Structure 1
Amino acid sequence: MNQHLFSKIMNVLVGEKRVETYLSCLILSCLQKINGERTTYSIYHLLKGKKSSQTIQDAHLFNMTNLFQTFPQLSRNFFEEIIRDLNSKNYIQIVDVDKYKITTRGMAHLEQTLIKMPIPGALNGWKYHSIQEDFWKRLTLLIQVCSNLINYNSSYIPIQNDNKTSDWVKEILIKLSKKREELSNELLQEVINCLNTKDEIMPEVVVWRLTGHKQIGLTSVQVAELFKMDMNYFHLHFLSTIHYMIDRISASRNQYPILQNLLIDYQKPIVLTNSSLVTYRYLQLGYNIDEIASARNLKNSTIEDHIVEIALNETDFSLEPFVPIEVEHKIRVVIQKLNSKQLKMIRQELKENISYFQIRLVQARLGEPI
């Protein structure tokens, strides 16, 4: 892809007025949460959806799983430009290499912005990033097909032209085996019921993009302009509404006999990275850290990273082989007292021979649940 075309795509996604986009506010919110305890690139990897142990741990530790992979096309250069802009406006101040804390001025700006434009509540990037695209493709094509079926029109350009989605719709139509009027009416009612809620979502950002018989859905840019929304903010509301639909259908499949088929091959995201999963299997066979590191030709610190990731995601995983109960209690008390996630500060306060690894394990157990 040439640079000019890439720039045009980025402008559509994040807006022409770069320094004033909602993405800046979102990054500022993340900086406020990590409070100088991680580098800015931890936020960049979070928004991009990097599936590394550190990114996954940080997402849960700092309660930012909702933002995971919400901006997968975000470029490093553009991200750095936003950081520089926030710094030049005195919204953040540097505390170490690539580490910043939000200033009083920045906090005031963030609070003011979030009052007007709060982060959409149904957003759940970590849970649904792997299914959101397929769900949207299936939903839009199924609605378009049903709309044209009920109008006895077989000459139209499919809104989705990939074979995978087309084949899925054909299979579902055969499986449901309903008359076209019945199918269309039931689908319509299910979509209305799914979106008819008092929860904080914006159904219109999805509805206006739907295509039917002699009705072409608007583009993302057109819908954002229609509602006078920043493109970043529209993007998050769109994802939030899609995530809300997936969540509601998943929780009450019997209420959505047609829409539940959109999730027919949906599997929950694999919560462990492949390497951590291998380490977990060694642990289940009774291997210790040294033995696993030797068997896998990895550093002990890498195996420790894996174990922290396991502790974060597997609620039944016992910390006791690595952190005695009394040590875990002491770490918990200090964490609550300091209200900080800085390992060095916690270890200094403990004043005992307690390792960073043990502190990280307890932090993982205290982290946001999956």
Structure 2
Amino acid sequence: MDTLDQYILSVIASFPLKRKPAFLFAIVTGKRTGQAVQDAHLFEVTPLFGCLPTLRQRSFDARLAGLQELGWIEVTEDGIALVPGIASPFQTQFPYIDGFLYQNRTNRFFERLLLAIQVFSNFKHERKNYLPIVRDEETQLAVKYWLATHLAERSKEVVRADLFSELERWLMDADASLFVPRFSGGDYIGKTAFQVAELTGREPWNYYFAWLNGLHQLFGRLDQGFPLLAGLMPSAEEGLTTSARKTLQLAEQGVPFDKMMTVRHLKWSTIQDHIVEIAATIPAFDISEWVDEATVLRIGAHGWQSLKEIKQAFPELDYFQIRLALIAKRSGATCS
């Protein structure tokens, strides 16, 4: 069993009832369907959500087939479940991973970090002509803006020293061997993930999840004296699906949510899905229009197996309000 198998087993184990392969694939790859977002919060699976955004369906299916052949999972028409007695150590090994919160932002941050380190390293070596280690234009523009912002206030030498001080503080608490060999500067070109995995004696998936864990550990501390690294972090809005982001942009322009059906030519149920996704992604998002803090606390005080069970306990609420209350419990969305 490798670390990817452990991750998949942990996802399966997180749901009390059997789940279809398509649903599990949505959780693993972070497809933000209404059902996936809702159930990830209902069963507190958000840390595991979307950790493998580029995993292909056939690779996932092959993994399930392998786990079934080994006798670790049961596959029936009703779905997939762990064989009794099987457990996964995944979340104990990688306690800082928070897939839902940092989905779509982790790789962007790391690419910006790689480029920023290369830039400042070449400042030190007085190299003006070099190929950027990251070719993505959006990343280059983000780092260029970040540089301009900080260099307008301080010299290159001061910013460089501050950046490397922040890196040192982070890497003192993380496993530096996962990250430092990937950094480039001067004549040194950083190693690939596979090369570092081999260098550190890890199987590739173990390296990947350890790398993810180390970055998410940093993300949880960015507001604790890491201003330069925080400036490289993509905004929470970038974690939204494209359609939900458009809905949020209209809201920020003052368009009422109940008018967006006409503006965007969408059903109200779709707008509701967007509101739930936004509330799950952006803690400062205000949901008091639909649900109050008392409701969130009442629902959050119990463990539930389904939305239907919550509906029976709170018949005065519709399913949209129930979903928002579940989301607010985890995300901290504003509801008062």
Q: TM-score, normalised by structure 2?
A: 0.74
Write the distance in 2 (CA, Å) between the matches of 1:307 and 1:216.
42
Contact 1:311 1:319 in 2 (8 A): no
Say which SS state the counterpart of residue 196 (structure 1) adopts.
helix
Say which SS state the counterpart of residue 81 (structure 2) adopts.
strand
Write the distance in 1 (CA, Å) between the matches of 2:155 and 2:51.
39
Report the counterpart of residue 229 of structure 1 in structure 2.
Answer: 202
User: Is 1:365 the counterpart of 2:325 in the alignment?
Assistant: yes
Report the counterpart of residue 125 of structure 1 in structure 2.
Answer: 99
User: Is 1:40 the counterpart of 2:21 in the alignment?
Assistant: yes
Q: Which letter maps to 1:260?
A: A
Contact 2:30 2:49 in 1 (8 A): yes
Count the aligned residue pairs.
313
Report the counterpart of residue 244 of structure 1 in structure 2.
Answer: 217
Report the counterpart of residue 74 of structure 2 in structure 1.
Answer: 93
| Offset at residue 60 of structure 1 (A) | 1.3
Q: Which letter maps to 2:325?
A: R
| Offset at residue 140 of structure 1 (A) | 1.0
Write the distance in 2 (CA, Å) between the matches of 1:204 and 1:244.
15
User: Is 1:49 the counterpart of 2:10 in the alignment?
Assistant: no
Report the counterpart of residue 288 of structure 2 in structure 1.
Answer: 316
Q: Which has the higher Rg, Structure 1 or Structure 2?
A: 1
User: Is 1:206 the counterpart of 2:170 in the alignment?
Assistant: no
| Offset at residue 246 of structure 1 (A) | 3.1
Report the counterpart of residue 128 of structure 2 in structure 1.
Answer: 154
Deviations for 1:131-159, whole angstroms, at most 9, x for unmatched residues?
22332122111111111211222343321
Contact 2:112 2:143 in 1 (8 A): yes
Write the distance in 2 (CA, Å) between the matches of 1:82 and 1:150.
47
Contact 2:41 2:326 in 1 (8 A): no
Q: Which letter maps to 1:140?
A: L
Write the distance in 1 (CA, Å) between the matches of 2:105 and 2:159.
24
Contact 2:120 2:160 in 1 (8 A): yes
- Correspondence for 1:256 among 218, 222, 226: 226
Q: Which runs of 5+ in 2 are unaligned?
A: 281-285, 332-336
- Correspondence for 2:235 among 236, 245, 266: 266
Q: Which letter maps to 1:165?
A: T
Write the distance in 2 (CA, Å) between the matches of 1:202 and 1:267.
26
Q: Which letter maps to 1:120?
A: F
- Correspondence for 1:165 among 124, 139, 146: 139
CA-atom RMSD, angstroms?
Answer: 4.1
Contact 2:30 2:51 in 1 (8 A): yes
Contact 1:68 1:125 in 2 (8 A): yes
Q: Which letter maps to 1:44?
A: F
Q: Percent identity?
A: 21
Write the distance in 2 (CA, Å) between the matches of 1:236 and 1:354.
42
Residues 40 and 276 from structure 1, CA distance in 2 versus in 1: closer, same or farther, beyond 3 angstroms?
farther
Report the counterpart of residue 190 of structure 1 in structure 2.
Answer: 166
Write the distance in 1 (CA, Å) between the matches of 2:107 and 2:245.
26
Contact 1:60 1:369 in 2 (8 A): yes
Say which SS state the counterpart of residue 330 (structure 2) adopts.
coil
Contact 1:123 1:240 in 2 (8 A): yes
Deviations for 1:195-228, whole angstroms, at most 9, x for unmatched residues?
333xxx4333122211122222221011111222
Write the distance in 2 (CA, Å) between the matches of 1:318 and 1:168.
36
Residues 365 and 166 from structure 1, CA distance in 2 versus in 1: closer, same or farther, beyond 3 angstroms?
closer
Q: TM-score, normalised by structure 1?
A: 0.68
Q: Which letter maps to 1:210?
A: F
Residues 55 and 151 from structure 1, CA distance in 2 versus in 1: closer, same or farther, beyond 3 angstroms?
same
